[in-house]
Structure 1
Amino acid sequence: MTQSPFAIEARGLQKTYAASGKSPEKQALKGLDLAIPKGSIFGLLGPNGAGKSTFINILAGLVIKTAGEVRIWDIDIDKDHRAAKAAIGIVPQEISFDAFFTPFETLELQAGFYGVPPKERRSMELLEAVGLADKRDTYSRQLSGGMKRRLLIAKALVHTPPVVILDEPTAGVDVELRRSLWEYITMLNKERGVTIVLTTHYLEEAQELCDNIAIIDQGRLIASEPTPTILKRLDKKAVVISPLEPLTQIPSGLSDLECVLRPDGALAIHYRPNEHSVEALLSQAMGAGVRIKDLRIEEPNLEDVFVALTTPAGGR
């Protein structure tokens, strides 16, 4: 039997929440088809209410799907729920621990839930990896928010899952901690082959870290492509001109172009490479009286693509 190249596969996945009180029936997932390659760092993006949390909760066994098929590490979650759940570790958004357990006790208890024999447990190794070895015997209630988030990551790894899902792992985390978390997660991926699935609202983070990115909106898949490919979806760039004297208004000779005057007096001319050359744009700018001191070309970023695909005029 050929092994699947995908860590997670969803086919025709649907979830409808029944009406409750004054809340009408809601279809959170509408036939979602998604394949996450093994060994990748995969970004799962979407606006609030897009269906990301429902999808993750189905993988975690917290929500029962309405229809469709889901496989984790080539294991059907309906046919072997226990094995599928053992193949995944989830770091949730919400920070929740027993206030009277220490980090070491928390990891030992979690390992017990997964049936990890005492001799095979890695509680101290994990605490050292996330920088909490010196907090081994501190009550969880005494840890800072950043420490608790690191403990969540360690907790998701106690059973050595081949797939780890990070749901907004750096929300509210300072820059230094964010960097250290990503160094550890990148090591897990590159050195140990762990598949990482990331949801985040920090789009620059996803653009920098992820090999592949999927965007879902209103319960449907809008795009799922390698990161360089998805960034090329917008055939649009910007020439940013820093003039000798800051501009206070857009010259009338540029009225036929898509221009934006920036707060520092620089002029950004947005263009499509297949319609305009940079040489022609600069010539027109100089003809309109703009004296150029410096310039640069700005490529579209993930935020530009995300907005274009998740607004009513884009992507659908």
Structure 2
Amino acid sequence: MKLSALMAAVLLTVAVTGAQAADTLAKIAESGKITLAYRESSVPFSYLDGPSKPIGFSVELSNAVVEAVKKKLNKPNLQVALMPVTSQNRIPLIQNGTIDLECGSTTNNSARGKDVAFAVNHFYTGTRLLVKKSSKIKNYADLAKKTVASTTGTTNALVMRKYNAEKNLDMDIVLGKDHADAFLLVESDRAVAFAMDDILLFGLIANAKNPAEFEVVGDALQVEPYACMLPKDDPAFKKVVDDTIVGLMKSGEFEKMYNKWFMSPIPPKGTALNLPMSPQLRDNIKTPSDKPAT
């Protein structure tokens, strides 16, 4: 009796694991298509250069995964479909299978890990403030009783609400539908600051009409990792994505990509962000990890 129960458990495990492992790769193989998400204004990770051409550091990570999937499935002519996503809809679109992979500017945290899976981390950032230099705002205390922007569906909006309540700052927090929308609130003086991941703020300033008008200020409220997002409970597909990114890290190609997008002039204006690699990211290249923020 014990043996048959054990065998049944083993067979069930094999069946479940097999179903999970085949999921995304099997779907891609059957349809002949992989669907990648992109962001429209997450500079320099994933953003538009022209009406419908996504470019950026994370876009190049996605493209590397596509090449690995083509080899894995022996489908050199695999069709690549591109779909724009926002902070608000990116997780549901992974969950319902509309998109197979999202490499943008998504924080890998424990709460999201209940709904989706994350590849190894590829960047580390913290919430800071984009302001007009003329505003004289230097830190969070200066935001008391003022209107502050963030982006719908981001960890930054949650962090700011929590900080606002804890410090009794009585801020009016307004949310843009995407980063460009939230930046516009500051540009048009409808908000005095935009709270977001510092790297995205530097990217927005670099592409602004008048970059010299803005600056990034304030302490980083928390340090969080970015990672590519994929369907949950799909170890075979996660292995392909992880192996691709770790391979880039170990070969030195990842650092070349980093220097291209963070240290050199980038489209559309040819402005360089000049942001050296953080100690956290250097450590992650040596010992790749998919550890989430708490």
User: TM-score if structure 2 supplies the norm length?
Assistant: 0.27
User: TM-score if structure 1 supplies the norm length?
Assistant: 0.26
Pick the structure with greater CA Rg.
Answer: 1
